[in-house]
Amino acid sequence: MRLGMGAAQVVTVDPIYLNQGVDNWAITHVFDFLARAPLGRFGASPAEFTPELAESWTISPDSRVWTFHIRKGVMFHKGYGELTAEDVKFTFDRVRDPKQGSGAAIIYSNVDSVETPDPYTAVIRLKQPDPFFMSSTVHLTSSNIVCKKAVLEKGDKFARDPIGSGPYQMVSVTPKLVTLTANPDYFGQKPNIPNMEVSYILDTSARALAILGGQVDMILAPAGPGAINSIVQKNPKLILDVALPGNSVSVAFNLNHKPLDDLRVRQAFMYAINKEEIRKSVTPATPRVYGLNPPSVPGALTDQNCPAALRYDFNPAKAKQLLAEAGFPNGFAFPVISSVRDDFSSLMLIIAEQLRQVGVKMDLKLIDHAAYHEADVRDLCNFTMRIGSYPPVPTQPFQNELMAAGNVQPDGKGRGNNFSHYGVAIPGIDDMVAQAMAEPELGKRLALCGRIEEKILTDLPLVSLCTTAYVVIRNPRLDIGFKVDSSLGYWRLNQAKFVA
């Protein structure tokens, strides 16, 4: 089985140093989680997760103590012995250790301690209750359980020669190819296909040719406008696996910059930007997004529950009226910095054209992607696009993008991606998020998240544009064994088999 993924080369197969999403395709097959979301979709609540390395688990009533009972007899690859609770503790302690320099460490800041009362029990204590702990932490790439002995023995080489307990084990890693072979001792569903290769094919035409020519069985679909359609037109039998929500696209107004500090101007933008048109412009079209969380995330605003006053359906006349009330009857011009990356530039150009229709002229400057990120974290942007994904945990985007603590700073030393300065320029959100974070009961927490979404849509620190789904184009001869629905941008293929 051959996979063609969109990156120049493999960066790492060590879960705690994941830096590019496509490396997950190798990682997810080499390692196991304590518990896994149902194949092809997110787990909305802990009850939906299926046992993996943990045979069972218990949750304290305040959602702060999570006790995992580890499966006995799970063996690490290549003779590295049995997996025990000590490896679980090592995995969590390693990612949290500042000396390791894992980019994911901040996500584990709520973990207070990991204890191992016996070799088959791991007790994870949290500082604050987290009914979403499975989605927020256990199911993150960096929570794939690594072999303590192998990490200590191999050091930096672990990233190229990893030892896990998953359905496939590592054969070799070269810059453009990761080769895996089935783990004969796997405790779960043993792979139907004995070998797996993950090829790194950055160029979109090369990837398209690879799937059309049958050189690979699956590719990460190219992101450019019309790219998916042009491939499927050449071979209509190809199958699209579409994982929602994929990446969320939002644009933050810098509330410290005039005239974006004026609520009427932001409301005018909301009415002028045709979100229906934008969501239909991405392939495949994705469901309409209202608040910061896309509709597939628990607690999000959807077509059904979004209040009419906060929908901001396309209405250029109303946008012009609001601009006039704000003192801009003829519109205005404003400078915007964005990234040259295809997805950023194409979406920003659509917005520029839509705003032009109501008299707002965007002087758009597109710069190199790394330079753009340097500019946005240094508070140099006033209309900042963010494209990224979160686990299906509704509080995470609030924490990263809207709370005072996450404000970007001119020296680049901010602690988050709050490009709008919401929480400081317009206070109130921090208390609401803190209240939600302290709520141990899932249903109540979701209701609080809904209220936060409504406040965001009232104050408008940002506009949520759409999501761009993760799409994999698959040869019909490969049956993956389940339907992909809502998911992160990768999934397991040990059930996959070749069909005639």
Partner 1 sequence: MRMARTIALRVLDAVPTVLLVLTLVFFALRVLPGDPARVALGEFATPEQIAALHAKMGLDGPLAWQYLTFLRDVATLRFGTSFVSSEPVGAMLAQNLPYTIDLTVLATLFGVVMGLPLGVASARRRGGPVDFGARLFALLGYAIPDFYLGALLLIWLALDTGLFPISGGGEGAWDRFYHLILPAFTLGVIKAAFLSRLTRGALLETLGRDFVRTARAKGAREPRVVYRHALRNALLPVSNGLALSLLSTLSGAVAIELIFNRPGIGTMLVEAVSTRDYPVVQAGLVVFSLFVVAVNLLADLLNGVIDPRIRAAS
Reported as half-sphere exposure (CB side, CA atoms, 13 A), residue 418 has a value of 27
Does 213 interact with partner 1 (rule: CB under 8 A)?
Answer: yes
Query: Per rule CB under 8 A, is residue 203 in the interface with partner 1?
Result: yes
If one asks whether residue 236 binds partner 1 (CB under 8 A), the answer comes out as no
Q: Rank residues 62 and 368 by Cβ distance to partner 1 and give the closer one.
A: 368
Give the pairing of strands 65-70 and 121-126.
antiparallel
Q: Which is nearer to partner 1, 72 or 369 (CB)?
A: 369
Tell me the residue type at 380.
Answer: L
User: C-beta of 92: minimal distance to partner 1 in Å?
Assistant: 17
3-state secondary structure of 277: helix
Contact predicate 5/109, CB 8 Å: no
Strands 239-253 and 486-487, sheet pairing: parallel
The mark string for 151-180 relative to partner 1 (x by CB under 8 A, - otherwise) is -----x--xx-------------xxxx---
What is the rounded (10 degree) CA torsion for 74, 78, 79, 83? -30
Distance CA 250, CA 282 (A): 14
Smallest gap, in angstroms, from Cβ of residue 57 to partner 1?
Answer: 26
Find the part of the chain contacting partner 1 (CB under 8 A) among 124-132, 201-209, 300-308, 315-323.
Answer: 201-209
Site string for partner 1, 101-140 (x = CB under 8 A): x-xxxxx---------------------------------
Q: Does 371 bind partner 1 (CB under 8 A)?
A: yes
Helices 342-356, 263-272: axis angle to 10 degrees equals 100
**Considering only 28-36, 367-375, 444-452, 464-472, which stretch makes contact with partner 1 by CB under 8 A?**
367-375
8 A C-beta contact, residue 447 and residue 2: no
| Closer residue to partner 1, CB minimum distance, 4 or 294 | 4
Residue 9 Cβ, how far from partner 1 at the closest point, in Å? 7
Binding to partner 1, residues 382-441 (CB under 8 A): 388, 400, 412-415, 417
Beta strand 218-220 with 383-388 is unpaired
Task: Check residue 280 for interaction with partner 1 (CB under 8 A).
Answer: no
Choose, by CB under 8 A, the member of 152, 202, 285, 438 that binds partner 1: 202
Burial tier of 28 (Cβ tally within 10 Å: 0-12, 13-18, 19+): buried
The secondary element (H helix, E strand) that includes residue 218 is strand 218-220
**Six-digit token string for 211:** 């799937």
Helix (H) or strand (E) holding 464: strand 462-474
- Near partner 1 by CB under 8 A: residue from 61, 73, 79, 98: 98
Tell me: does residue 373 bind partner 1 (CB under 8 A).
yes
Instruction: Please say which residue, 186 or 372, places its beta carbon nearer to partner 1.
Output: 372
CB of 201 to partner 1, least distance (A): 5
**Which CB atom, from 185 or from 343, has the smaller least distance to partner 1?**
343
DSSP 173-239: EETTEEEEEE-TT-SSS--SSSEEEEEE--SHHHHHHHHHTTS-SEEEPP-STTHHHHHHHH-TT-E
Q: State the binding string over 18-57 for partner 1 (x if CB under 8 A, else -).
A: -x--------------------------------------
Instruction: Give the nearer residue to partner 1 in terms of CB position, either 205 or 357.
Output: 205
Q: Nearest-CA neighbor of 207 among 223, 225, 226?
A: 223
- Report, in Å, the least distance between residue 132 CB and partner 1: 17
Maximum pairwise Cα distance, the chain:
74
Residue 174 structure tokens: 């070269």
SS3 47: helix
Does 62 participate in binding partner 1 (rule CB under 8 A)?
Answer: no
CA angle in degrees (0–180, nearest 5) for 290-294-298: 115
Encoded amino acid at 372, one letter: Y
Tokens of 398: 């609030």
Interatomic CA distance for residues 411 and 389, integer angstroms: 25
Q: Is 411 left (phi over 0), alpha (psi -120 to 50) or beta?
A: alpha
Contact pick of 1, 3, 5, 10 for partner 1 (by CB under 8 A): 10
* Rounded least distance, CB 244 to partner 1, Å: 21
Q: Which stretch binds partner 1 (CB under 8 A): 45-53, 97-105, 222-230, 462-470?
A: 97-105
Question: Which residues within the stretch 374-393 sit at the binding site for partner 1 (CB under 8 A)?
Answer: 374-375, 377, 388
219 versus 465: smaller Cβ distance to partner 1? 219
Closest CB to partner 1 among residues 203, 363:
203
In the chain, the N- to C-terminal Cα span, in Å, equals 14
Binding site for partner 1 (CB under 8 A): 8-12, 17, 19, 98-99, 101, 103-107, 156, 159-160, 174-177, 199-203, 205-206, 209-210, 212-213, 215, 367-371, 373-375, 377, 388, 400, 412-415, 417
